[in-house]
Amino acid sequence: MPVERTLTIIKPDAVAAGNAGRIIARLEQEGFTIVAMKKLALSEAQARGFYAVHGERPFFEDLVAFMTSGPIVPMVLERESAVAALREVMGATDSLKAAEGTIRNLYGTDIERNAIHGSDGPDTAEVERAFFFSSLEQA
């Protein structure tokens, strides 16, 4: 299996609840190496840019408001099959439907406040990583 890099974001709900450290520890326990990490607050323009793919969806404005409601922790993660492995560890998008023991099951509230974002494919991961981290930061 190839070693990949992916992007994850610990979302404002999980940061505000004090769960960022637990989520980071879980990711490391699952075999991910943290290549880059920072804590920041997204501006409205940045949130709109990052989630532009969802711009026409009915939930877009709520998503932008949520993602600008507090600090986030984006990270570049690396391991074999990182994209698929992260999606499995995160659980279903709707925290209420996420499998027991997944990050979203443990730390999310619902489909919107679901604690963590993860890239949905290798191509998306590349674009998303570049949004938050320079090539120098990902070295």
The answer to whether residue 117 is catalytic is yes
DSSP state letters, 5-21? EEEEEE-HHHHHTT-HH
Of 32, 117, 128, 132, the catalytic one is: 117
Helix axes 20-29, 82-90, angle to 10 degrees: 130
The two three-digit tokens of residue 40, written as one number: 């920041």
Active site residues: 117
